[in-house]
Amino acid sequence: MSDWFSETENWAFLVIAVPMVLAAFRAVTSRNVVHSVLFLVVALAASAALFLLLGAEFVAWTVVLVYIGAVVVLFLFGIMITRAPLGTETQLSHNYQTKIGAALVSGALFALITVTTVRGFGDANLTARPTRADEIGQSMFERFVIPFEVVSVVLLAALIGGIVLARRDPVDGDEAVR
Amino acid sequence: MMISQFIIVGAALFSLGVYGVLTRRNAVLVLLSVELMLAAVNINFVAFDVYVNDQIAGGQIFSLFIIAVAAAEVGIGLAIVLLIFRNRHSANVDELDLMKL
Amino acid sequence: MLALLTNVNTLILATEEGGQAAEALSDGGTLASLAWLIPVVPMVAAFAIVFFGKRMPYKGWDIAIAVMGFEALYGTLLLLSHISSPIAKDFSVEIAKIGNMPIEWGWSVDGLSIMMYFVVGVVGFLVFVYAKGYMEGDVRFTWFFASFTLFAGGMLVLVSAPNFIQLIVGWELVGVASWLLIGHYWEEHENSSAAIKAFITNKVADVGLFVGAIMISMSVGSFRFSDVMHAIEGGAAEAPVLAQFAFWGGLALFIGAMGKSAQFPLHVWLPDAMAGPTPVSALMHAATMVTAGIYLIGRMFPLYAVEGFADEVRWVIIIVGALTLFLTGLIALVQDDIKKVLAYSTLSQLGYMMAAMGAGAYTAGLFHLFTHAFFKALLFLGAGSVIHSVHSNNMSDMGGLRKKMPQTFWTFVIGSAALAGIFPLAGFWSKDEILASFEYAGGHYTTAQGGAALGTAVLWIAIAGAFVTAFYMTRTVWLTFFGTYKGEAHPHESPKIMTYPLVGLAIGAAFFGLINMPGITEVFTDLVGGRAFAGFHDLEHHADGLNLVLAFVGTLAAGLGIYLGWRIWGPDRATQAERDTFRVNGLYPVLENKYYIDDFYMDGVIRPIRGPMARAVNWFNGHVLDFIVNGAGLLAKAVGRLVYWFDQRGLDAAINASGAATGAGGGALRLLQTGKVQQYAILIFAATVILVAGLVIWF
């Protein structure tokens, strides 16, 4: 155990992991909507840092670009449009009975996974492996080209679907939808 | 670095995401918690990819796919929330109980 | 035909061990193998007459007489063939099976059967000729001949039967024919009553026949007579089952014979049967049907003769025969109706035959059957001729007819003399042979003490019977043909069609006795006796010559009877009135009431059954049996109500409760469906955690 602390990587890991968990916790318990979103940003940024620690540079950068750059913005838009009560607001979460139940379930889940992992892997080590973008690209377009195409279709569908779902229906007499 | 520590971190994030899904009343915040869960999964995949030293970087590529799909899902999800909000003038999931017996 | 021939079954006696002096018995050739026609032709003809008779030129009589002519011819041919080379053969065709015992139809051609074929054929032919004249103008002429032909067929089935089943079929057929014919004039109620009385009395006796037939067949394992004879041949040691049942079986068979042959006390039907037309009385109740019982005992004679089987039954047979012989003869003395006289005379002669069988004289009994057929049929036809001309049965309406009806008179006298046993007519020889057998039995009765005394007693009874016979026949002849006519009709001789048969029968009555004069000709004995039962030794005793003492005593008794009759009823008496009122005060009422036997049957048997017993049985049926049946119904109803209650309260409650429980359960589970996604989600996650935890812990 003391070996673990002697390595620099592990310190770096701790510095990244702890804020991440804390931020995540705050994200789900905050009474302020915007605060929740911002805490999510912290968590996501921390996960990108973890990826860097592991040597997956391309994935880290993609997380920053897509997740933080696009998804979170989307969330903010969503909040605005649905007129979520901004600022501190009372009832963003359920009553405490629900909270206890949920806490139990999630706690049990966490315990389960942890125990299983520790029992399974024990002291297994890994070493960071810097992965270059061109390796990713190579693999993507050789081995995973079909899932790649499928995902692009999914994105297309989401694009079209989103537009279709969110537009206002034209009322008789109105002009055509913009 | 131990593989366990990454997985435990991933588990923590995932459990917090579950807690959020079960607890939050605002639909957007539920989606947010789902994003948290997906991020945890990503961490898992990449950690295992590095642990196994996958030559084709399957774990990393899959996490890319997850990111893409998550984005699509958020887009659609928010569109649906928007529609519900237009209908009911509230984004409270508590009030969406038309399916009850 | 080939099929019939391939099914032939040789009478075992023809081949067996009979080592001593048994001549080779032939199988009769074509004549015998075609003899199945003998019973079948009349049966078919009877139906033909029913369907086509009315359209025929002679209204059915033509078919009938053709059949009877055929029978007479065939019988005569068989007789001649048998005399030249004796035949003994059985033919049988299997038609069914009971368990292991086959039921067969067949025909037997041996001495006994041939004798019966001859009698039925010849006497029947003559009677049928006579009947055409007698029944002329009768409203049921065609039906009469159909029934009469049916009778002939049934009788021939009976005497040609090689097994018990067929015998019983024939027996019943003649019973039915008898009922039909006695009740021919059924417009008078008493005639149909007489027919029913005949049938019922016979039916009572038939119980014995059935029981006896079954006992004997079952103990031998076959219905065939030849198998029974074969079993007896071996002796009582070889056939223990038969020996065990032989006595009761033989006794039961004798009871059956008592009914058909009208032995005392089952004789009551025969006098009443005179209600039928005279040809019927002549053929059935004199010559043939009533002899069926004698024939049966004759057929089964080894059973009654060989020691260890049913020879003890002979005691019963001889006593019954002797009683019948004497008592019924006495009743004949007091009858006014001419047919009734002849009826009682027939009963008496049947008693002679049966007693002869009982004494072990098989040939004597059958010979008397043979001669009696001829002279009794003659007497009946003669009486019918008189009745036809005078239109009354009663002798008090007759008298002095000898000048007006000469042929009838002379033939009647010949018949009466034959009956009385006057030398050299037929009756003399046959009656003498019977007396000889009684005398032999008196000396040598096979079964021990008392036997000798019984034989001697029966001999004296028979001699007394001969006296009585002559006595009443003389009375009859005098009352009918002598003196002055007392009636109101115009008597005249009958037409030739009626008198020619009388002449024919008279010839038979006169001369047929000569075929069996002991010591001189033994045709009949050979015909029927030794060869039919070739496997048996010493079945009966035959005298070597004429027993002159007995012949003399018998003739003396008859002469005495004639003399007394002439004295009492002859024309020398002072006034007719006195003659007609001759009575013996103490005896006559008893005789006139026929020993009160009919009254006993009526009041002692029939009335109680009809009255109290029938009412008692009816009450039992209505109250006890019906009660049980109705009770079962009520019980079913009560059970039904109980089940209904249980179903309503019990089962339905249970089912309703299960339904209510399901509803309550559903109502409870419904609360889970809140419509709130997060609640579903929490349940899903919790369940997953638990499941996986379970898996992990387990492994």
User: DSSP assignment, residue B24?
Assistant: B
- C682–A108: do the CB atoms touch at under 8 Å? no
Rounded-to-integer distance, Cα A137 and Cα A63, Å: 16
User: DSSP assignment, residue A56?
Assistant: B
Residues of chain C found within 8 Å of residue B93, distances taken between Cβ atoms: 676-678
| pLDDT above 60 (res C18) | no
A61: contact with B, CB 8 A cutoff: no
The minimal CB distance from B78 to the residues A63, A78, A129 is found for: A78
| pLDDT above 60 (res A163) | yes
- C689–A98: do the CB atoms touch at under 8 Å? no
Residues of chain B found within 8 Å of residue A77, distances taken between Cβ atoms: 78
Residues of chain A found within 8 Å of residue B64, distances taken between Cβ atoms: 58-59, 62, 136, 140
Domain assignment present for residue B11? The answer is yes
More confident site: C670 or C168: C168
- C673–B100: do the CB atoms touch at under 8 Å? yes
Chain B: touching chains (3 or more CB pairs < 8 Å)? A, C
| pLDDT above 70 (res C92) | yes
Residue of chain B whose Cα is closest to the Cα of C670: B101
The minimal CB distance from A112 to the residues C678, C682, C692 is found for: C692
- pLDDT band, residue A178 (cuts 50/70/90): very low
A173: contact with B, CB 8 A cutoff: no
The minimal CB distance from B13 to the residues A21, A93, A118 is found for: A21
Residue C655 C-alpha, separation from nearest chain B C-alpha, in angstroms: 26
Rounded-to-integer distance, Cα B35 and Cα B71, Å: 9
CATH number for position B15: 1.10.287.3510
DSSP assignment string, C607-658: HHIIIIIHHHHHHIIIIIIHHHHHHHHHHHHHHHHHHHHIIIIIIHHHHHHH
- B22–C674: do the CB atoms touch at under 8 Å? no
> Which tokens is C464 given?
């007394």
DSSP assignment string, C290-318: GGHHHHHHHHTHHHHHSTTTTTTHHHHHH
pLDDT at C15 (0 to 100)? 31
Pairing mode of beta strands C89-98, C8-9: antiparallel
> Which tokens is C292 given?
């069926």
pLDDT at A27 (0 to 100)? 94
Of C73-77, C115-119, C175-179, C449-453, the one with minimum mean pLDDT is C449-453
From C565, C566, C426, select the one nearest C505 (Cα to Cα).
C426
Of C60-74, C133-147, C376-390, C590-604, the one with minimum mean pLDDT is C590-604
Residues of chain C found within 8 Å of residue A105, distances taken between Cβ atoms: 682, 685-686, 689
| pLDDT above 90 (res C508) | no
Asked if residues C330 and C594 have their Cβ atoms less than 8 Å apart, the reply is no
> Which tokens is C368 given?
């008397």
Percent over 90 (pLDDT), chain A: 56
pLDDT at C2 (0 to 100)? 40
How many Cβ atoms sit within 10 Å of the Cβ of residue C237? 8
- pLDDT band, residue A1 (cuts 50/70/90): low
Domain assignment present for residue B52? The answer is yes
Domain membership of residue B91 as a residue range: 4-95
Asked if residues C420 and C369 have their Cβ atoms less than 8 Å apart, the reply is no
- pLDDT band, residue A84 (cuts 50/70/90): low
> Which tokens is B32 given?
């947010």
pLDDT at A91 (0 to 100)? 62
From C417, C318, C415, select the one nearest C376 (Cα to Cα).
C415
Asked if residues C194 and C183 have their Cβ atoms less than 8 Å apart, the reply is yes
Find all residues with CB under 8 Å of B27, minimum gap 6, and list them.
Answer: A82, B81, B84, B91, B92, B93
| pLDDT above 80 (res C20) | no
- C676–B18: do the CB atoms touch at under 8 Å? no
Calculate helix-pair angle for C189-220, C225-233, nearest 10 degrees.
50
The structural domain count of chain B equals: 1
| Tens digit of each residue's pLDDT (9 = 90 or more) over B46-98 | 999 999 988 888 999 999 999 999 999 999 999 998 888 888 777 788 777 77
- A102–B19: do the CB atoms touch at under 8 Å? yes
pLDDT at C58 (0 to 100)? 84
| pLDDT above 90 (res A113) | yes
Rounded-to-integer distance, Cα C349 and Cα C357, Å: 13
- A102–B22: do the CB atoms touch at under 8 Å? yes
Q: A153-162 in b/e burial notation, b at 16+ Cβ within 10 A?
A: ebeeebeebb
| Tens digit of each residue's pLDDT (9 = 90 or more) over C526-574 | 677 655 555 565 556 655 566 777 777 878 888 888 887 777 776 655 4
From C686, A69, A67, select the one nearest B35 (Cα to Cα).
A67
Residues of chain B found within 8 Å of residue A113, distances taken between Cβ atoms: 7-8, 11, 14-15
> Which tokens is C244 given?
């065990």
Residues of chain A found within 8 Å of residue C692, distances taken between Cβ atoms: 112
Rounded-to-integer distance, Cα C346 and Cα C629, Å: 53
pLDDT at C171 (0 to 100)? 94
- For C:204-263, CB contacts with A below 8 A are none
Residues of chain A found within 8 Å of residue B34, distances taken between Cβ atoms: none
Chain C: touching chains (3 or more CB pairs < 8 Å)? A, B
CA C684, C690, C693, C699: dihedral to nearest 10 degrees?
A: -110
| pLDDT above 60 (res A86) | no
Residues of chain B found within 8 Å of residue A53, distances taken between Cβ atoms: 1
**In a mutagenesis test of the B interface, which of C670, C671, C678 is the best target, namely the one with the most B β-carbons within 10 Å?**
C678
**Residue C93: what are its φ and ψ, rounded to 5°?**
-125, 125
| pLDDT above 80 (res C608) | no
Element (H, E) at C104: strand C101-109
A112: contact with C, CB 8 A cutoff: yes
> Which tokens is C344 given?
């009682």
The minimal CB distance from A158 to the residues B11, B63, B72 is found for: B72
B21: contact with C, CB 8 A cutoff: yes
B20: contact with A, CB 8 A cutoff: yes
pLDDT at A111 (0 to 100)? 94
Asked if residues A34 and B26 have their Cβ atoms less than 8 Å apart, the reply is no
Most confident of C54-63, C211-220, C430-439, C650-659: C211-220
> Which tokens is A34 given?
């915007």
Residue B99 C-alpha, separation from nearest chain A C-alpha, in angstroms: 20
| Tens digit of each residue's pLDDT (9 = 90 or more) over C317-339 | 888 998 888 888 888 888 888 99
> Which tokens is C229 given?
């004879």
pLDDT at C582 (0 to 100)? 62
- pLDDT band, residue A123 (cuts 50/70/90): confident
Residue of chain A whose Cα is closest to the Cα of C683: A105
Percent over 70 (pLDDT), chain C: 87
| Tens digit of each residue's pLDDT (9 = 90 or more) over C332-371 | 888 888 999 999 999 999 999 998 888 888 888 888 898 8
Residue of chain B whose Cα is closest to the Cα of C676: B97
From B64, B42, A21, select the one nearest A13 (Cα to Cα).
A21
More confident site: C150 or C675: C150
- What is the mean predicted confidence (pLDDT) over C495-509? 82
Scan for tokens 């449009």, then name that residue.
A81
A11: contact with B, CB 8 A cutoff: no
Most confident of A146-155, C17-26, C277-286: A146-155
Residues of chain A found within 8 Å of residue B9, distances taken between Cβ atoms: 17, 20-21, 50
Rounded-to-integer distance, Cα A25 and Cα A31, Å: 12
More confident site: C513 or C62: C62
**In a mutagenesis test of the A interface, which of B74, B84, B90 is the best target, namely the one with the most A β-carbons within 10 Å?**
B74
Four-residue CA torsion sign, C409, C415, C418, C424: positive
Residues of chain C found within 8 Å of residue B23, distances taken between Cβ atoms: 678
More confident site: C306 or C220: C220
The minimal CB distance from C678 to the residues B93, B98, B101 is found for: B93
pLDDT at B34 (0 to 100)? 95
- A94–C689: do the CB atoms touch at under 8 Å? no
> Which tokens is C187 given?
């417009």
pLDDT at A23 (0 to 100)? 95
Starting at the edge strand that comes first in sequence, how are the strands of the sheet with C101-109 ordered?
Answer: C8-9, C89-98, C101-109
| pLDDT above 50 (res C5) | no
More confident site: C161 or C591: C161
- pLDDT band, residue A140 (cuts 50/70/90): very high
Find all residues with CB under 8 Å of B31, minimum gap 6, and list them.
Answer: A75, A78, B74, B77, B78, B81
- B100–C685: do the CB atoms touch at under 8 Å? no
Find all residues with CB under 8 Å of C170, minimum gap 6, and list them.
Answer: C39, C154, C155, C156, C157, C158, C159, C160, C161
Domain assignment present for residue B100? The answer is no
ipTM, two decimals, is 0.91
Scan for tokens 């629900």, then name that residue.
A98
| Tens digit of each residue's pLDDT (9 = 90 or more) over C105-151 | 888 888 888 889 999 999 999 999 999 989 888 888 999 999 999 99
Residue of chain A whose Cα is closest to the Cα of C692: A112
Residues of chain B found within 8 Å of residue A114, distances taken between Cβ atoms: 8, 11
A130: contact with B, CB 8 A cutoff: no
Find all residues with CB under 8 Å of C582, minimum gap 6, and list them.
Answer: C568, C569
| Tens digit of each residue's pLDDT (9 = 90 or more) over A21-44 | 999 999 999 888 889 999 999 999
Domain assignment present for residue B20? The answer is yes
From C110, C156, C469, select the one nearest C283 (Cα to Cα).
C156
C678: contact with A, CB 8 A cutoff: yes
| pLDDT above 50 (res C1) | no
- For C:644-683, CB contacts with B below 8 A are 670, 673-678, 681-682
pLDDT at C7 (0 to 100)? 36
pLDDT at C498 (0 to 100)? 82
Calculate helix-pair angle for B58-88, B27-52, nearest 10 degrees.
180
Mean pLDDT value across chain C: 81
Rounded-to-integer distance, Cα A69 and Cα A50, Å: 18
How many Cβ atoms sit within 10 Å of the Cβ of residue B88? 11
Rounded-to-integer distance, Cα C509 and Cα C503, Å: 10
Rounded-to-integer distance, Cα C482 and Cα C403, Å: 9
Rounded-to-integer distance, Cα C475 and Cα C479, Å: 6
pLDDT at C443 (0 to 100)? 62
Domain assignment present for residue B101? The answer is no
pLDDT at C23 (0 to 100)? 47
Residues of chain A found within 8 Å of residue B43, distances taken between Cβ atoms: 47, 50-51
Residue of chain B whose Cα is closest to the Cα of C669: B101
Most confident of C31-40, C249-258, C401-410, C478-487: C249-258
- What is the mean predicted confidence (pLDDT) over C207-224? 90
| pLDDT above 60 (res A156) | yes
